[in-house]
Structure 1
């Protein structure tokens, strides 16, 4: 019984941690987008990358313990998302070239 209670507490604690890491990366991303100083942007990008690495570590631990379940996306859904991303990149490049 005590072991189950400890496991539940651990699961809640690590769930809170991953939530906080998600909020952290969101805030850092906003700061990057709103920064006019290239040096600040570069430093914030490095901090964001570290935050994302930390999230991955926590996610892997949660997944390993069965506390964070995911399903693999069907191949057609993956292809649709990939095509949408390519289209967005092309549109962004076109918009940037029109601004020049």
Structure 2
């Protein structure tokens, strides 16, 4: 029997892959010697960041991605788990 992935599972996998690619592009940008190559890699990196943001927004709106709330008091930042 073939098990079908749910939409949430698929979008979670895609977001994970976008994060991985973003990390790889970031490293490549940092190590690029040529300005032309660096600029091309930076554009690809920005594309991955934008894709990840869209996926995150969709997941968040559907309740599939819970982000801890951040509370700032003075110079401290505390992360509160979502309820």
TM-score (norm 1): 0.67
* Residue 58 (structure 1) aligns with: 55
Distance 2:18 2:6 in 1: 18
Which of structure 1's runs of 4+ aligned residues deviate more than 3 A?
none
Mapping 1:1-100, distance limit 5 Å: 9-76=6-73, 79-80=75-76
Show structure 1 runs of 5+ residues with no match: 1-5, 82-100
CA drift at 1:80: 4.8
Cα-Cα RMSD: 2.0
Distance 2:71 2:47 in 1: 30
Q: How many residues align?
A: 74
Change (3 A) 1:59 1:37: same
Larger radius of gyration: 1
User: More helix per residue: 1 or 2?
Assistant: 1
TM-score (norm 2): 0.80
User: More strand per residue: 1 or 2?
Assistant: 2
